[in-house]
Amino acid sequence: MNLVIFGPPGAGKGTQSGYIAKKFKLYQLSTGELLRNEIKNNTNLGKQISSTINSGNLVSNEIVSNLIEKYLSDKTYQNKIIFDGYPRTLIQAQTLNDSMIKYNQKIHIALRLTVSLDTIIKRIKERSALEKRDDDSEEIAIKRYETYEKNIKPVIDFYKQSNLLKDVNGESSIIEINNEISALIESIKG
């Protein structure tokens, strides 16, 4: 099974993806982690990515798609991927769909964590205190949330039209969210 989990930055995608990956023996593919690894390794690409993220903008579709295709082409991960925070734009959703077809795979479910800006700001402040991430300031969080909201509607429509979209209340506790997601996945698995 392959699935997509998306929501605004700070919605809990990474946390939930980690639980899902362990429970259902899937591989968590976090585009955020892929991008942060490039930054951490101080590559030229990483410097470009850092500048883009710190200005509150999205990294180009081409960069993200190329990073993701490496995993789709690897048989180790075939039909075992959680796309954590990807796709974020309609072009990315279409590109992912095309890549899935290319590698004889498909998305089985798209989970959207719905969370308010107030909750996001509170979570970002808590995460910043724990993880000390450069992209975890309130100002950047607000800009990233606004960018996310502006770009996500076509993605939501794309997965709605495919009958894959399931909304999950991201305002609930971690355990409640995980139980809701687990029930949705179990219903797909049969």
Q: Which one is predicted more confidently, 187 or 140?
A: 187
C-alpha dist (Å) from residue 139 to 33, 83, 136, 150: 21, 26, 8, 17
What percent of the chain has pLDDT above 90? 52
How high is the pLDDT of residue 135? Answer: 61
Read off the pTM: 0.82
Check pLDDT > 70 for residue 108. Answer: yes
Q: Which residues contact 78 (CB under 8 A, 6 or more apart)?
A: 103, 105
> Does the pLDDT value for residue 37 go beyond 90?
no
Check residue 38 and give its pLDDT. 85
- pLDDT bin (cut points 50, 70, 90) of residue 177 is very high
Look at the alpha carbons of 71, 49, 61, 58 in this order and tell me if their dihedral is positive or negative: positive
Residue 139 has pLDDT above 70, yes or no: yes
Work out the pLDDT band at 133, boundaries 50, 70, 90: low
Domains of the chain from N-terminus onward: 3-189 (3.40.50.300)
Mean per-residue pLDDT over the chain, rounded: 89
Please give the distance of CA 97 from its chain centroid, rounded to a whole number.
Answer: 15
